[in-house]
Structure 1
Amino acid sequence: MQRICADRGTATILSGFVRTLLAHGPSCTLLELAGMGSVALDLATACLAQHLGSPGEAPPEARAQEMRHRVMRFIDSNLSDPELTPQAIADHHNISLRTLYDLFDDQPLGVAARIRQGRLERAFADLTRPELRAESVQTIALRWGFSSGTAFGRAFRGPTGSPLPSIVLPMHSGISRTAGRSPASQMALPRRQSGH
């Protein structure tokens, strides 16, 4: 194993970032830590690329895996954007839509399902936070890229078939009984079917 000296270039930046993260990470929120994890991974990738040579020299499988990780980080960082679609992701990464779909062929979730799953998880997490109990389901749904509270409800009910748990609904003001039957709790999406 070759040791990387942290006295110059990206290795110095990575080393400083990791030290700072270890010192101040405990005071960060989970969402902030998730963002920091993406930054750390990008810095580590840049550092290794500098020391190992050009990314073009890597085997195709390694390049595909690195691109898939970049795409997943991009998705996770942009879940609140209602314009986040497979085409927008492909355009941002300068790849074709077919190439994007191919990157996820052997994954449990396709691209669109990964976006939907991430948005559902983030919205549900916000719905269960006591400090956000004054916010309506609609407000939280819009924050995480859904076009409306109804769209959130449909997206949730699709994979779970269940309404939002009764312990969550009373926490949020401005929720009618009808709206309350739509959104929901179990976040597990079914395994990906054929197609994207």
Structure 2
Amino acid sequence: MSPVLLTSQIPEEQRLTSWHNAVGRGLVPVTVVPHSAGPFTGRLFTDHVGALRVSTVEADAHRIRRTKTHIARSPEPLVAVGAQVTGRTVLVQAGREVTADPGDLFVYDTSRPYFLERPERFRAHVILIPRRALDLSDESLDSAIGTAFGTEQGCAAVLQPVLTTVVSAAHQYSATATGGLVNGLVDLFSTMVTERHEGLIEGDGTTRDHLVRRVREHIDQNLGDPALSPESVARAQGISVRYLHRLFEDEGVTVGRLIQRCRLERCALELAHRSRTVPTVAAIAQRWGFVNPAHFSRVFRGAYGLSPREWRSMGPEGGVTAAAAGRHAGD
């Protein structure tokens, strides 16, 4: 990376103004207030690596404030991931306050106001990730905003050296290698955030029950989508597939089986319904997410003991009711 600003090369009376301008160009517009009335010294290195903005900041003690006015000047939603190298950073955002010590990672959102306090001279790496590049729900990301991560274990322990490499040495690699580093960093960050979100859910039984209800509602509302699957459900809820399956361990049914059971119940009800316009069996199956008619007939018979056409011929009052049949479909 090339230096954007070395204050040692700037007249003392112009340093703070130059620093403001450099930080606004390389990171985002903010207000910087030095702790000392003496000459301000700092070094800022910044560059672009793919879609990421990467920076290394080293400066005297100061405080930073980003307000709604600053945000209006640079409204693109960016998620900042900082790696504290020396000194400390006190981050205040979203009603949270956390201190990042050397070795820690800290996360903040540039589309919301925040406050950073650097109580002594410090050095930190900062990567700005476009929000659109993160395959994370707002709820998952919110759980990480204004927080710090120790890097002794877990995903943070893997992310920290990758982040440092991307910031300090990515320009030395080919475009292909750099792309791999960037994708790896974004994936690791997303996994780290997801793990935190899932850990918070796990520790709160009320939240866990609410999430299970939300998953069931999502399934009910999207039964007609052939792409509905445990993977798509997990993605919509901002959790991993592994954690989704763990949530349903006590529900007596897997998520995949729940989707199939709900689809079969809707098909059974519609097949039994008498109306002036009679859709084909294939049309009903397709309406509720079954793409292959032969597969639909096979799983329907396996659940209800009758083919879809036999079920339809019995009518709404014949044989087993649709409600009772729905219970058999979950067996």
| Residues 152-171 of structure 1: pairs in structure 2 closer than 5 A | 152-164=296-308, 166=310, 168-169=312-313
Change in CA separation of 1:89 and 1:58 when aligned onto 2, cut-off 3 Å: closer
Q: Alpha carbon RMSD of aligned pairs, Å?
A: 2.6
TM-superposed CA distance for 1:60, in Å, is: 1.6
TM-superposed CA distance for 1:170, in Å, is: 8.4
Aligned to 2:325: 186
1:113-163 CA distance string (max 9 Å, x none) = 110011000011111111265211000000000013212112212334433
Could you tell me which of 105, 115, 122 is aligned with 2:266? 122
Aligned to 1:11: none
Aligned to 1:44: none
Aligned to 1:89: 233
Change in CA separation of 1:190 and 1:130 when aligned onto 2, cut-off 3 Å: closer
Question: Do the aligned partners of 2:304 and 2:329 also contact (CA within 8 Å) in 1?
Answer: yes
Give the alignment's TM-score, normalised by structure 2.
0.34
TM-superposed CA distance for 1:91, in Å, is: 0.6
Give the alignment's TM-score, normalised by structure 1.
0.56
Change in CA separation of 1:155 and 1:81 when aligned onto 2, cut-off 3 Å: same
Could you tell me which of 33, 57, 78 is aligned with 2:222? 78
**Structure whose CA Rg is larger:** 2
* SS of corresponding position for 2:260: helix
Say which structure is richer in strand: 2
* SS of corresponding position for 2:329: coil
Gap runs ≥5 in structure 1? 1-55, 172-184, 192-196
* SS of corresponding position for 1:104: helix
Q: Does 1:100 align with 2:239?
A: no
Question: Do the aligned partners of 2:272 and 2:312 also contact (CA within 8 Å) in 1?
Answer: yes
Aligned to 1:111: 255
How far apart in 2 are the matches of 1:110 and 1:57? Answer: 19
Q: Does 1:141 align with 2:281?
A: no
| Residues 1-40 of structure 1: pairs in structure 2 closer than 5 A | none
How far apart in 1 are the matches of 2:246 and 2:288? Answer: 26
Q: Which residue type is aligned with residue 139 of structure 1? A: A
Q: Does 1:65 align with 2:209?
A: yes
How far apart in 2 are the matches of 1:57 and 1:115? Answer: 23
1:85-125 CA distance string (max 9 Å, x none) = 00000011110001100110011211011100110000111
Change in CA separation of 1:135 and 1:91 when aligned onto 2, cut-off 3 Å: same
How far apart in 1 are the matches of 2:257 and 2:291? Answer: 16
How far apart in 1 are the matches of 2:233 and 2:270? Answer: 25
Q: Which residue type is aligned with residue 275 of structure 2? A: E
Question: Do the aligned partners of 2:245 and 2:254 also contact (CA within 8 Å) in 1?
Answer: yes
How many correspondences in the alignment? 123
How far apart in 2 are the matches of 1:102 and 1:57? Answer: 12
Q: Which residue type is aligned with residue 91 of structure 1? A: R
How far apart in 2 are the matches of 1:65 and 1:164? Answer: 35
Gap runs ≥5 in structure 2? 1-199, 316-323
